[in-house]
Structure 1
Amino acid sequence: MDFLIRIAVALGIGGVIGLERQYSAMKENSSGFSGVRTFSILVLLGFAGGIFYHVFSPWVYGVILLGVVILQATSYWYTATQGDRGLTTELSSVFAFILGTLVLNGLIEISLFITVILVVVLSSKFRIKTIVGKITAEELYDFIRFVVLALLIFPFLPDETFGPYQVLNFREIGWVVLLTSGLGLVGYILTKFLGANRGILVSGLVGGLVSSTAVTWVFAQKSKENPSLSSSCATAILAASSIMTIRVLIWTFIFNLALFEKLLFPVLIVFLAGLGITVYIFAKRKKELMDDQLIPLKKPLDLKSALVFGAIYSAILLLVSYANENLGERGTFISSAIAGISDIDAITISVSKLAGNQLIMQIAGISILIATISNTLVKMGIGIYAGSMELRKKLILGYGVVFGAGIIALFIIR
């Protein structure tokens, strides 16, 4: 029975890969030969080759595999002479042979996992072409710069503490720069390929990955230009602010797991309050037409801003260390409130690095919540200043709920 199950799985794998290849060939009018039957036979050949490996000799399996490779090379030569220079089907055929051998040896879960990945990659050809066709030279170069930063510069930064209070570390500062620049790059990609035409709520959520403050400014101005869009703009602003609280959890999870566990429930209260009021305003809004590009795309990889962020992170690290040592709890809270005016990420990462060492865990949690509330009040001020009268009403309601949830979160963490 086990043998029959493995045969059935092998045939299923060959059938799935062959079905995708045959459909793709028919759609492109390709002159390739591989389809459902061919791939099923290739998987069975790999299955039988595995039997020969165990019963006779590994050399027999090697000869069969070499024959498959020669067959695929011949196939590629033929299709290339017909004008089709793609190598995807030939490589998939070799994969199918190997998958058949894996199934014979009982590695069914691994074989199915590889098959799923292979089929997804094969079937995404047209989507990948569409995406690649939209990539500009600047976006490509910025992606290469990020890879160079991540693989060729960051690993060689010294991992030693230095400076006042021994809290600065080049490796940790580089890690912060890498994460923030990477987050900006991801946010840029999502914003470009999702866009506002997928819905204002998604636009706010995606924009919140980059900067909730920037989203607040952009949509507040938009509401003043066209007051009929005020409800939708309020939805985008509050959605971005809700995502900001998730960023707090992400940073604490990365830099201080113990602090993450302490903040999880209080921050979730703030997040759920923000998400709830966002959904409420979104559901109550009237149908509004949205421009396709509400969030202006800037640079894909803003290394200058990331380096500035790294400097801010270092300064806040020193500021919080000084306040905690010389001014006590009150000084730490004041410095957190001031830091939260401009940005929540830097103070969150800085406090996460100090929590449990120079900073008591509870004080660290309260500091981050104070910074979050401070940042929320600033964004409410921006929205009220730059937005329409209708937007002001929505933001007072929305941020009032978020502010109340923040106060509750402070009492819980205390």
Structure 2
Amino acid sequence: MPLFDSPELAPLAHFLTSLAIGLLIGLERERNPSAKAGLRTFTLVAMAGTLTALLSEKTGAPWLLAAGLLVMGGMMVAAYTKDEDEEDPGTTTVAAVVLCYGLGALVWYGYSQLAVTLAILTTILLYFKAEMRGISQQISRLDLVSILQFAVLSFVILPVVPNRGFGPYQVLNPYQIWWMVVLISGLSLAGYAALRIVGQRHGALLTGLFGGIASSTATTLAFSRHGRADPGLLGIAALVILLANWMVMIRLAIEVAVVAPSLLARMLVIFGCGAAAGLVALYLTVWRRMDNRPDAPRLEVKNPTEIRAALTFGMLYAGVLVASAWLSDLAGSSGVYAVALVSGLTDVDAITLSSLRLYGLGTLAGEQAATAILLALLANIAFKAGLTLAIGGAGLARHTLPGFLSAAAGAVAGWLLV
């Protein structure tokens, strides 16, 4: 008879899971010389949590679980209180012990997968103490404001806006509009955070990549100015600009994957061909010719989650959505294409997301949505090429134009394939 089929030994699986959780967290704490709890303590605490939950359930005494938590926490506080001269007050270890006890209880109540996941995340937090402290010391006031504003956009505003259609053609769904704002703000914040943490310390490649996620327009504008101000930076400026605009296609692919996964395969062909052609041109015309690659100038990016910017994007997205629906009803797909060409000049995200929204509503067919996104991408590439010429001058334009044209031609070739 299998071991766990025995009624008396059936709970053993829960205790083995708690044992593994305690060993995992305790193994990390064992490495910390100042910790009063290590491998054995955490293992016993986790199993004590499971045992107390079992007894609490079987005896109908829920207070046993709370009493056990108080005992475990009190024992750890007392252990650290004895050594008043210790520099480490031990609050992290005490918190970890309390959490470990709770995870053991979760296992008994049938949340083993959740408990194991939380144990892994807890161990990661404990292990990367130095790295997290370094990141926290690098965070500026602007960084903290950006994080807080994104939290407001995502967890305060989004849950309370109504989730139903309003206005012409019922396309103005406040929840869907604000969800697009959160998506774009999240992508921008991720690029901004990556740029702040590693981009400036690892040269032009990462500056271009993360700058493209945060804001390809700001990156193009900034490095066009650098290229004009210092002819010695023409190569590095062209590299950063082309990489930033190459990342636009990666960004759009992420948006398609989140908003309209059924359209992703088709769009990956378009974006993939454009990205591949752009990379080849980038290597042949810029990267291969750069004998020395100096550090890229610092790229200053504004708050990517500013409330005013979020509201502006939300209104732009709503406007493009209504215009696309109206012109689609009035002039068919050609009306949407006209909107895509105009709006794509300055903001390719708005028309992309509105096209995907109309595709989801059944207003646009898949090939029409793909064509609208392609036209917006081409208009955006043309705008960035013109911006490079106007701000950076002819010298910088000669470096970047082959890359822009190759990316555009590759995207068109991908569209022809699908």
TM bucket normalised to smaller: 0.7 to 0.9
SS of match in other structure, 1:254: helix
Q: 1:138 to 1:398 in 2, by over 3 A?
A: closer
1:363 aligns with 2:368: yes
Q: Which secondary structure state, in structure 2, belongs to the residue aligned with residue 186 of structure 1?
A: helix
Q: Would you say 1:412 and 2:392 are equivalent positions? A: no
- Structure 1 328/128 Cα, relative in aligned 2: closer, same or farther at 3 Å? same
Distance 2:18 2:169 in 1: 62
Alignment correspondent of 1:327: 331
Deviation at 1:376, TM superposition (A): 0.9
Amino acid corresponding to residue 33 of structure 1 in structure 2 = K
- Per-residue CA distance 1:11-70 (angstroms, 9 max, x = gap): 76555533432433x3xxx4x4223454455456668x489859x978798576654333
- Is residue 151 from structure 1 mapped to residue 159 from structure 2 by the alignment? no
Does the residue aligned with 2:293 lie in a helix, a strand or coil? coil
Q: What amino acid is the match of 1:23?
A: R
Q: Which moved more, 1:85-94 or 1:198-207?
A: 85-94
Q: Counterpart of 1:308?
A: 312
SS in 2 for 1:162: coil
In structure 2, what is the equivalent of residue 34 of structure 1? 37
Corresponding residue for residue 397 of structure 1: 402
Q: Is the 8 A contact 1:195 1:292 kept in 2?
A: no
Measure, in 1, the Cα distance between the counterparts of 2:189 and 2:327. Answer: 34
2:137 counterpart residue number: 133
CA contact (8 A) 2:24 2:120 kept: no
Distance 1:15 1:310, change over 3 A: closer
- Which stretch of the first structure deviates more once superposed, 333-342 or 278-287? 278-287
Q: Deviations over 1:290-315 (max 9, x none)?
A: 1462x113225322122112221122
Task: Show the counterpart of 1:257.
Answer: 261
Separation in 1 of the partners of 2:226 and 2:41? 58
For residue 342 of structure 1, report the CA deviation from its aligned partner.
Answer: 0.9
Matched, 1:77 2:81: yes
2:167 is matched by which residue type in structure 1?
Answer: G
Corresponding residue to 1:373 among 354, 378, 399: 378
CA-CA distance at 1:216 after TM superposition: 1.4
Contact 2:204 2:296 in 1 (8 A): no
Is the 8 Å Cα contact of residues 227 and 388 (structure 1) preserved in structure 2?
no
Structure-1-length-normalised TM-score: 0.83
Cα separation, partners in 2 of 1:99 and 1:228, compared to 1, 3 Å: same
1:120 Cα deviation after fit: 0.8
Mapped pair 1:20 → 2:25: no
Aligned match of 2:97: 93
Aligned partners of 1:366 and 1:410 also within 8 Å: yes
Query: 1:237 is aligned with what amino acid?
Result: I
In 2, Cα distance between equivalents of 1:366 and 1:52: 60
Q: How far 1:233 sits from its partner (Å)? A: 2.1
Distance 1:374 1:187 in 2: 23
Q: Kindly state the Cα deviation for residue 372 of structure 1 after the two structures are TM-superposed.
A: 0.6
1:51 and 1:334 map into 2 onto residues whose CA distance is: 64
Q: Distance in 2 between matches of 1:347 and 1:80?
A: 62
In the alignment, is the contact (CA less than 8 A) between 1:384 and 1:395 conserved in 2?
no
Task: State the superposition RMSD in angstroms.
Answer: 3.5
Aligned position for 2:277: 273
- Equivalent-residue separation in structure 2 for 1:128 and 1:197 (angstroms): 17
In the TM superposition, what is the alpha-carbon distance from 1:368 to its structure 2 partner? 0.8
Unmatched runs of 5 consecutive residues or more in structure 2:
none
Distance in 1 separating the partners of 2:107 and 2:165: 51
> Matched residues in 2 for 1:151 and 1:10: separation?
33
In 2, distance between residues paired with 1:404 and 1:22? 58
In structure 2, the residue matched to 1:290 is 295
Determine the structure 1 residue equivalent to 2:246: 242
Distance in 2 (CA, whole Å) between partners of 1:134 and 1:163 is 45
Kindly indicate whether the alpha-carbon contact (under 8 Å) linking 2:274 and 2:411 is maintained by their aligned counterparts in 1: yes
Kindly report which structure 2 residues correspond to 1:41-120, keeping only aligned pairs within 5 A, or say none. Answer: 42=45, 49=51, 67-78=71-82, 82=86, 84-97=88-101, 112-120=116-124
**Structure 1 residue 268: Cα displacement:** 2.0
Equivalent residue of 1:223, what SS? helix
Once the 2 structures are TM-superposed, how far is the Cα of residue 246 of structure 1 from its aligned partner?
A: 1.9
Q: Give the CA deviation at 1:366.
A: 0.7
SS of residue paired to 1:342:
coil
1:304-337 per-position Cα deviation (integer Å, ceiling 9, x unaligned) = 1221122211221222223222233333322211
> How many pairs does the alignment contain?
406
* Alignment partner of 2:340 out of 323, 336, 339: 336
Q: Decide whether aligned partners of structure 1 residues 315 and 410 sit closer, same or farther in structure 2, where only a CA change above 3 A counts.
A: same
- Following TM superposition, by how much is the alpha carbon of 1:176 offset from its aligned partner in structure 2, in angstroms? 2.5
Does structure 2 retain, via aligned residues, the 8 Å contact 1:344–1:375?
yes
For the residues of structure 2 that align with 1:410 and 1:107, how far apart are their CA atoms?
47
Does the 8 Å contact 2:149/2:307 carry over to 1? no
TM-score (norm 2): 0.82
C-alpha separation between the residues in 2 aligned to 1:5 and 1:173? 47
Whether contact under 8 Å (1:188, 1:210) holds in the other structure is: yes
Query: What is the SS of the residue equivalent to 2:120?
Result: helix
Alpha-carbon distance change, 92 to 323 in structure 1, aligned in 2, over 3 angstroms: same
- 2:203 touches 2:296 (CA, 8 Å); kept in 1? no
User: Identity rate of aligned residues, in percent?
Assistant: 28
- Whole-angstrom distance in 1 between the partners of 2:176 and 2:347: 19
Kindly tell me: are residues 93 and 163 of structure 1, through their superposed partners in 2, closer, same or farther at Cα, counting changes over 3 Å? closer
Unaligned stretches of 5+ residues in structure 1: none
